[in-house]
Structure 1
């Protein structure tokens, strides 16, 4: 049985990662600030990570811990501690305890203002602290991983959708894939606070999970999905499905009178090792059912 050290196991993606690897027969140990963690992280003394009493021989470390894009500007010091400095210490931890593989969950936001074709070789020009902190951590993992002989993988997801593992603990209602469905069911309306013509790529959490298995094949993987939609089109798709399943009308509103997006449709460089299969319409139906329980 292989052993995984998972950092950030209480988050939306972290909970999925824990279940995914356990279902594949891995023994998963968690490191975090939660009292339920196998190894407790003192976020005020990150250097204490190197003093942890670890007696398990780990095969892989996955870092899925980060301050999210909503909370990132609340405290810049905390943001850089968790999104960057923590990663630096985790690489040292992997080196100290001879963990041979290190996967870092990054974000599509490292690219910044992108053109119409996205490839992992594209120069990254992050435009905010969220993208910048993840890009800094990518460089830490790849540079020191190479120096220490650690096999590394960077996963760059786009906008993740999927049903939460634990609804009671779920707290990401500000994100479009979740907020719109909740509003459509509870309020019978979806209010978009912009024109809604921004194009977004959406990826299933299950495709992101499978991407983490590519550590022996790739250094960086863009975890993207088939669905490229404007925010407005996504809201209208949700409204239609809710209307069909609940037999009630759902209103979608937005700001402005524009009807056509001026953004270029993004395309991702294909990779023979990565094949997304997620279906956003199936997700919408599944999440509606979950919310109605």
Structure 2
């Protein structure tokens, strides 16, 4: 089989570094794109016109991992909204201009807002934040290009990601619960919750997410939206207790969990998928990640 060439944008980010490693192990040729000089080509989505006009040949698929993080939507709302909306359109125009037939986008479970019940690919999105709205807008843009047969556009929605970063020194997402709790536990012997922590979260491992992408590249499914979900759905407080337990088991480190009393609303939901191909069944284990992450932080 001819080696397939994949362009990964945001190639120095958490997801992209893991994805690059896995795809190379499966024989794919990877071209990396970053906004700095660390990639094979430079793509700065703050300048969408420049991205759309870039010229390159021989690319089979573009995987777009670039998205302003949640904090930027709070500190620079209009800038984040503009960057994501114009950036996704520029990425798709870049594909069309360079005859790149396939496009994969990393969206987010946040497109569902605070919906309850079983959330599958057939559930109607209902974002309740600018972050979720921005991802949903990007999804709609991709679906428009797909309907017009300009690209084959797939959308992957991961839930709460976990996985030891490929490069801990350059990792920037310490505000995310799986990492914030581990670091606070090891550095300060405490875990601080801003709420009583009853809200449920589905946690998905980065290797399971990468398997979803590999499956899409290999199968080229007719379906266009896929949920990357994990096999563990627990509350924020339960996750804090898991970190507390593992820290004591491995390091004999007592960790104090601090959280306010109150009747925190408990949203009962199940983030899952309609598709049950055995290859993309989740297998990453949350406790194993916590053990590895705590060791890395020490």
Extract unaligned runs of 5+ from structure 2: none
Alpha-carbon distance between aligned partners in 2 of 1:160 and 1:42, rounded to the nearest angstrom: 25
Q: 1:153 touches 1:212 (CA, 8 Å); kept in 2?
A: no
Q: 1:158 touches 1:203 (CA, 8 Å); kept in 2?
A: yes
* Structure 1 residue 225 corresponds to structure 2 residue 227: no
| Cα offset, 1:44, TM superposition | 4.5
Q: 1:4 touches 1:29 (CA, 8 Å); kept in 2?
A: yes
Indicate the RMSD between aligned Cα atoms, in angstroms: 1.6
Alpha-carbon distance between aligned partners in 1 of 2:185 and 2:61, rounded to the nearest angstrom: 41
| Cα offset, 1:278, TM superposition | 1.1
Tell me what 1:182 maps to: 183
SS in 2 for 1:73: helix
Change (3 A) 1:97 1:106: same
TM-score by length of 2: 0.92
Change (3 A) 1:135 1:44: closer
Alpha-carbon distance between aligned partners in 2 of 1:149 and 1:52, rounded to the nearest angstrom: 17
Extract unaligned runs of 5+ from structure 1: none
Change (3 A) 1:48 1:57: same
| Cα offset, 1:250, TM superposition | 1.0
Correspondence for 2:272 among 223, 247, 268: 268
Alpha-carbon distance between aligned partners in 2 of 1:236 and 1:50, rounded to the nearest angstrom: 47
* Structure 1 residue 39 corresponds to structure 2 residue 41: yes
TM-score by length of 1: 0.94
The number of residues matched between the two structures is 290
Structural mapping, 1:161-172, within 5 Å? 161-172=162-173
Structural mapping, 1:1-293, within 5 Å? 1-54=3-56, 56-215=57-216, 216-217=220-221, 218-258=223-263, 262-273=266-277, 274-292=280-298
Change (3 A) 1:2 1:267: closer
